[in-house]
Amino acid sequence: MKTKILKVLRNSDKYISGQSICDELGISRTAVWKYMNQLKEDGYGIEATQNKGYNITKYPDVLTEVELGSLFETAFFGNKIYFYDEIDSTNNEAKKKAEDGAKQGTLVIAECQNGGRGRRGKKWISPSGSGIWMSFVLKPTIHPYGASMITLVAALSVVSALKNIKGLECNIKWPNDIVANGKKICGILTEMSSELDAVNYVIIGIGININSTEFDEEISDIASSVFLETGLTIKRSQVVADFAKYFEKYYSIFMQTQDLRGLIDEYNGLLVNVGKEVKINNINSQFIGNAIGINDKGELLVKKQDGSVEKVIAGEVSVRGLYGYV
Ligand code: BTN
């Protein structure tokens, strides 16, 4: 009910009478008053004026179930939201929930992670107040081979969600780093449980540096945040809500064909690798070439010096001029 009240307040231009809230939500005046007090305790600024009603004047920068629930306009994303002040890793928690039967769309989000994980076994530093650390559960009926493409769908959705922030121009470094001014501001960790021919669940874990000003020594040269790039302090919950909206849109396009043919142009348009010299470092091949873009499977097409085109499925791809590869 608190979520519904916050949504009503958010969506009304200015004052809304206590009676309208009662009528709309079918609760008593006393209940409305009680929830308003709770919202004030949560950090929302709420003015109550006689004969006019309630008006919301301030929103705290929080990522709670109530805050996100009041912003989401989604069909399935965040149908269940679990917020934690502190947790080891939202990916671990989302995995547990998926194993316990959580539905597609279940979202786990935390203010702080004390065991945040990055790709290739790296840690992901996730302090309070500085970013968006979230993971969600998907249960797609697709071949396990297709699951890695969802990471690219998520990357596209993050860029779209950040598009509205003034002065911030984001691009994608294949397959799923989000970069601004050549520095990484977001990483995505996709994990999957599957049989040989069917996916049980996919966990998409996203870390976006929003207000971060300090990073671990080893990444301090290559990492940045929305604040460092723009000087702006933004509400993290709005970014999550925008992400949710775009993810649903792009995910449904992806699921129609179970490949990236409907998103390829948009993705390639954002790819920093395109036309650049890249260094591929795979288990079985190392070479330098020129990146062309992705194909509809999400593989990176790289033109080698002998003119042949190689499809890169996975592995470390360094882009000349980015992250120190000069
Ligand atoms: C990367 O190395 O680029 C991927 C980083 C992914 C970090 C996010 S933060 C939320 C989720 N929980 C984790 O432990 N990791 C992911």
Q: Tens of pLDDT along 198-229?
A: 999 999 999 999 999 988 888 888 999 999 99
Cβ(205) – ligand 1 distance below 6 Å: yes
Are residue 196 and residue 290 in the same domain, yes or no? no
Residue 30, annotated ligand binder? no
Is 53 in contact with 29 (CB distance < 8 Å)? no
Is 77 in contact with 153 (CB distance < 8 Å)? no
Is 68 in contact with 107 (CB distance < 8 Å)? yes
Segment 1-30 shows an average pLDDT of 91
Q: By CB neighbour count within 10 A (0-12 exposed, 13-18 middle, 19+ buried), where does 116 fall? A: buried
Of 39, 58, 77, which marks where a domain is finished? 58
Of 15, 32, 58, which marks where a domain is finished? 58
Which letter does DSSP use for residue 145 in this model? G
Of 87, 106, 117, 173, the one to substitute when testing ligand 1's pocket (max ligand atoms within 8 A of C-beta) is 117
Structural domain boundaries enclosing 36: 2-58
**What is the CATH number for 127?**
3.30.930.10
Domain-embedded: residue 47: yes
CA distance 77 to 81: 9
Nearest in space to 233 (alpha carbons), one of 129, 306, 113, 320: 129
Q: Find the 321 Cα to ligand 1 centroid distance in Å.
A: 24
Sheet holding 277-281, edge to edge: 309-312, 300-304, 286-294, 277-281, 316-319
Nearest in space to 61 (alpha carbons), one of 246, 242, 243, 238: 238
Segment 115-142 shows an average pLDDT of 95
What torsion do the CA atoms of 154, 156, 158, 161 make, to the nearest 10 degrees?
A: -130
**What is the CATH number for 38?**
1.10.10.10
Are residue 279 and residue 193 in the same domain, yes or no? no
143 three-state secondary structure: coil
Higher pLDDT, 249 or 17: 249
Of 90, 106, 124, the one to substitute when testing ligand 1's pocket (max ligand atoms within 8 A of C-beta) is 124
Domain-embedded: residue 225: yes
Are residue 143 and residue 192 in the same domain, yes or no? yes
Q: Is 296 left (phi over 0), alpha (psi -120 to 50) or beta?
A: alpha
Domain-embedded: residue 90: yes
Q: Is 107 left (phi over 0), alpha (psi -120 to 50) or beta?
A: beta
Q: Tens of pLDDT along 147-162?
A: 999 999 999 999 999 9
Are residue 277 and residue 231 in the same domain, yes or no? no
Residue 57, annotated ligand binder? no
Of 106, 133, 148, 186, the one to substitute when testing ligand 1's pocket (max ligand atoms within 8 A of C-beta) is 133
Are residue 127 and residue 83 in the same domain, yes or no? yes
Domain-embedded: residue 171: yes
pTM for the full predicted model: 0.95
Name the phi and psi angles at 165, rounded to 5. Answer: -80, 120
Cβ(303) – ligand 1 distance below 6 Å: no
∠ at Cα 255 (253, 258), nearest 5°?
Answer: 110
Domain-embedded: residue 283: yes
Are residue 22 and residue 130 in the same domain, yes or no? no
**What is the CATH number for 312?**
2.30.30.100
Q: What is the pLDDT of residue 234?
A: 95
Q: Find the 153 Cα to ligand 1 centroid distance in Å.
A: 16
Q: Find the 124 Cα to ligand 1 centroid distance in Å.
A: 6
Is 123 in contact with 89 (CB distance < 8 Å)? no
Q: Find the 84 Cα to ligand 1 centroid distance in Å.
A: 16
Total domains in the chain come to 3
Domain-embedded: residue 314: yes
Q: Tens of pLDDT along 255-300?
A: 999 999 999 999 999 999 898 889 888 777 788 999 999 999 999 9
Are residue 197 and residue 284 in the same domain, yes or no? no
Residue partners of 142: CB distance under 8 A and separation at least 6: 199, 255, 258
Which letter does DSSP use for residue 49 in this model? E
57 three-state secondary structure: strand
Q: What is the pLDDT of residue 326?
A: 45
Cβ(118) – ligand 1 distance below 6 Å: yes
Nearest in space to 182 (alpha carbons), one of 133, 229, 227: 229
Domain-embedded: residue 99: yes
Are residue 95 and residue 177 in the same domain, yes or no? yes
Residue 211, annotated ligand binder? no
Are residue 314 and residue 239 in the same domain, yes or no? no
Residue partners of 168: CB distance under 8 A and separation at least 6: 162, 180, 226, 229, 230, 232
Domain-embedded: residue 326: no
Name the phi and psi angles at 179, rounded to 5. Answer: -120, 150
Are residue 309 and residue 211 in the same domain, yes or no? no
- Residue 325 above 70 pLDDT? no
Q: Find the 64 Cα to ligand 1 centroid distance in Å.
A: 19
Q: Tens of pLDDT along 221-253?
A: 899 999 999 999 999 999 999 999 999 999 999
Q: What is the pLDDT of residue 320?
A: 66
Are residue 75 and residue 50 in the same domain, yes or no? no
Q: Helix, strand, coil % (nearest 5) of the chain?
A: 35, 30, 35
Percent of the chain residues topping a pLDDT of 90: 80
Token pair 């509400």 is at which residue? 235
Are residue 142 and residue 241 in the same domain, yes or no? yes
Cβ(131) – ligand 1 distance below 6 Å: no
Of 17, 33, 58, which marks where a domain is finished? 58
